[in-house]
Structure 1
Amino acid sequence: MKGNIYTSQKCPVCDGKMIHDERRNNCFCTACDVPASGGYFVRFGRDICKRFRNNYPLAAQFLNGLRFETAKGTFDKRDYQKDFPLGFITQAEKWLAMKAEKVRTGEMAHKSLNNLKSYMGKAMDAWGHTNIKEIGFAQLDDFLFQPGQFKSSKTRANVKSCLHDFFTWFTDREDLPMPRFPKCTYELGQRAITNWETQGRIVDEIKKLTYDINPKIWFAVELLASYVEFRPQDLLRIREKDFDQGNAMVIVFNPTKQKNKFRTVRLTETHTRMWADLQDEYPGFPDMPFFRHISDRGRTKAGDVFGSRILSKWWGKACENIGVEGVDLYGGTRHTTTTELARIVGTDGARKATGHTTNKAFDRYCQVQDNSAFEMAKIIEEKRGKEGKVIPLKPVDQR
């Protein structure tokens, strides 16, 4: 039979080699018939060698287990190798490296990767080099619902989603069954919004604060407030060549929540002229990001794409300056604008402008969507500017 038990001991009488005898459950000197008292180890093929010191019964149990798995056809030598090829940490690092490559190619945002690293880091701390095959419902449930593990039910749900993505990748890759996941329910909190007058004051304050530093900071926020199809991460993906001045439009490749697709946003005449003027003032190569730093500041260099937090940072400073509290960048731009539009054109029109309604055949064959967003942007230019206050109105939904 494959595999055997050995001992590193020598015979205490003649210093001879000691050989395993399965019928007598020990290793014995072939000349003196003296039994071994320790130094046991199991070899199983070329790749598996495991030591058991003075515990012969455990060594025998291990060897019998390997033989049983071989007979069943479930034996996988990687389960027993010292470098933990199927250990959770080993496979998690592979998965994160694959995600990092998506960031490099523009398919994923840096912020998303950082979140995944944080979530997987907690799981790696919990499970270490545990063989992934041994992580099932009970282990997932213990991890996700450990008291004090996560600050909110939403975070727990995000971690579950991350782990589900990881296990889907791993089980598909290894042709293994997918573990069952516990349910993680949560309720969305409230996101504070404002109205067009307050929004306009915040955007104007950002212009005062940043125009001399880099006018593209203000212009980015102006676009977020005017075009509900734009999301902050979308702007960071736009290159110089993605602006089509002749047709007054911008193409966003791999927009948020739409992998391997693109979205076109038609600009008003005012914003088309602003965009063109900025390109003339700060020329760049076609593949350079449009929203980039124009000079060296601290650790950032001229030509670097905006960081994921730069717009939120200046939004927060502007709000502080004019006395607005509790309104973040997303709530103050996209959510506020969508709500204000709905009051004028109805929910269907506003929803259409956000791009939440999709027709797959139309999206696939038509590069230019309908004019809803363009018409809404014109309304925004005309209507922004009435009494302002902060309104905690709608659930947080960062999709």
Structure 2
Amino acid sequence: MKGNIITTEKCMVCGAILKHNDRRHGLFCPNHPQISCVKVFVVRFGRHIQRQFNNYDKAAQFLNGLRFKTGEGSFDIKDYASDKPYSFRVLSEKYLKRKANLKSFKEKKRHITVAQEYFYDSNVKYITGADIEDYLFDIKGISEKTRANYASALSDFFKWVLKRQIINVLPPFPEITYELGYRTITDMKTQQAIIIKVRELSEDRNPKIWTGIDLLATYVNLRPGDLLKIKEKDIDLEHGVITIHYPTKAKNKIKTVRLLPEHIELIRDLKNQFPALPELKFFRHHGGVRSQKPNTPFGPKYFKIWWDNACKELGVQDLDLYGGTRHTSTTEIARQAGTMSAREATAHETNKAFDRYCQFQNDTAFKMAGLLKKKKTDGKVLDFPQKAGKN
């Protein structure tokens, strides 16, 4: 049979090389059968595989495994290469390089780095569903939503490995259930009061602060991160359109926002007041504050800071920027024009995501309630008894 177990140990009596004896499960001197190998067992399989063990059983198990895989046709020399090309560590680094231009790369890298520490040099071909479940539920101090994000990142990695034909089937992933919370929303009067307060607080420093927040509250398909992507050249005032670019490695996605006349004029005035080169970000600092260099873009939390300051001034509690602008406005659209119109306005692709934005019963449920009412009363409206009161 292919392969053998050898050793560097020699007979202490005659100096002969110890030979492998399958039947006796060890390596023995051909001249003195009572003398056997003690601690150096080397499996040699073909020209490229040589692995040392400290006891015979481990060496024999490894050799028999190689023979079995050769017999069934699943033997792959790369599984045993010294640079471990199929290890989780090596492949995940290649995977991250392929994903480096994604918008979500930082989060993806964070999740994969944690998995690298756990699986390290494990061969991806032999990572099972049980291994994945143990890994995911060994991560302490995270919510189930975050745990699901870790699972999603790992699943995407294994799909990439599958496409490279390193594995033949995806390992099963455990089901992770979670319920996303709903953001606090407010009424339109309070929303406008907050925006006015933001304007009062920030107008002298930079009128683009309250302008950005007003855009978020008006155009519900906009996100705070979208505003930070807008360059001067992305604003077409002639046609009243803002184009937001989402660069990825594979393609260039865009989002367009049609502006109302009042916002066209507002942005026109701001462009005249703060002229700039086409490539500069529109939402940027304009100087006057020591810690802020002119023409540097707003940070990711800049609008939130001013929103929170305005809420504090007005005594409004537990209302974040997202809930007070986009979620509140989406719910109001649903009240005024129906949930289908609200969903089209937000451009959500799934009902689950939209339901968290629109805290208002959908049109179908409301219409069905009316049909049931009509059926129960045979077309007649019931007169509900009034509460007894003092005359």
- Shorter-normalised TM range: 0.7 to 0.9
- Residue 374 of structure 1 corresponds to none
Measured after TM superposition, the shift of residue 267 of structure 1 is 0.8
Give distance in 2, aligned partners of 1:351 and 1:393.
8
Contact 1:192 1:394 in 2 (8 A): no
- 1:183 is aligned to 2:175: yes
Q: C-alpha deviations, 1:31-51, integer Å up to 9, x for none?
A: 877643222222334543322
1:1-399 counterparts in 2 under 5 A?
A: 1-13=1-13, 17-18=17-18, 20=20, 22=22, 25-27=25-27, 35-53=36-54, 55-102=55-102, 108=103, 112-146=104-138, 149=140, 151-173=142-164, 174-254=166-246, 260-294=252-286, 302-356=294-348, 394=359
Q: Within 1, Cα distance between the matches of 2:328 and 2:281?
A: 27
Larger radius of gyration: 2
Q: Is the 8 A contact 1:234 1:252 kept in 2?
A: yes
Residues 144 and 245 of structure 1: CA distance in aligned 2, closer, same or farther (over 3 Å):
same
Percent of aligned positions that are identical: 44
- CA 1:304–1:165 in structure 2 vs 1: closer, same or farther (change >3 Å)? farther
Gaps of 5+ in 1: 103-107, 359-391
Do the aligned partners of 1:190 and 1:393 also contact (CA within 8 Å) in 2?
no
Q: Which amino acid aligns with 1:7?
A: T
| Stretches of structure 2 lacking an aligned partner (at least 5 in a row) | 351-356, 361-391
TM-score by length of 2: 0.76
Within 1, Cα distance between the matches of 2:136 and 2:329?
A: 36
**How far off is 1:78 after superposition?**
3.5
Following the alignment from structure 1 to structure 2, what is the Cα–Cα distance between the partners of residues 191 and 206? Answer: 21
**Aligned partners of 2:11, 2:5: CA distance in 1, in Å?**
16
Q: 1:131 to 1:175 in 2, by over 3 A?
A: closer
Q: 1:128 to 1:298 in 2, by over 3 A?
A: farther
Q: Distance in 2 between matches of 1:346 and 1:167?
A: 42
Residue 192 (structure 1) shift: 0.3
C-alpha deviation, 1:59, in angstroms:
0.7
Q: Is the 8 A contact 1:193 1:331 kept in 2?
A: yes
Residues 4/251 of structure 1: CA separation in 2 closer, same or farther (3 Å cut): same
Secondary structure, counterpart of 1:254 in structure 2:
strand
Aligned residue identity for 1:149:
K
CA contact (8 A) 1:79 1:131 kept: yes
Structure 1 residue runs of 4 or more that deviate by more than 6 Å after TM superposition:
30-33, 296-300
Deviation at 1:259, TM superposition (A): 7.0
RMSD over aligned CA atoms reads 3.4
Distance 2:287 2:120 in 1: 44
Cα distance between partner residues in 1 of 2:275 and 2:8:
74
Whole-angstrom distance in 1 between the partners of 2:241 and 2:338:
25
Distance (whole Å) between structure 2 residues aligned to residue 135 and residue 188 of structure 1: 30
Count of residue correspondences: 351
- What is the TM-score when the length of structure 1 is the normalising length? 0.75
CA contact (8 A) 1:191 1:394 kept: no
CA distance in 2, matches of 1:19, 1:301: 77
Rounded to whole Å, the distance in 2 between the matches of 1:51 and 1:297 is: 67
- Residue 337 of structure 1 deviates from its aligned partner by 0.8
Distance in 2 of aligned mates of 1:30 and 1:152: 64
1:127, distance to aligned residue in structure 2 (A): 3.1
- Contact kept, 8 Å, 2:243 with 2:257, in 1: the verdict is yes
Q: Which has the higher contact order (CA 8 A, sep 6+)?
A: 1
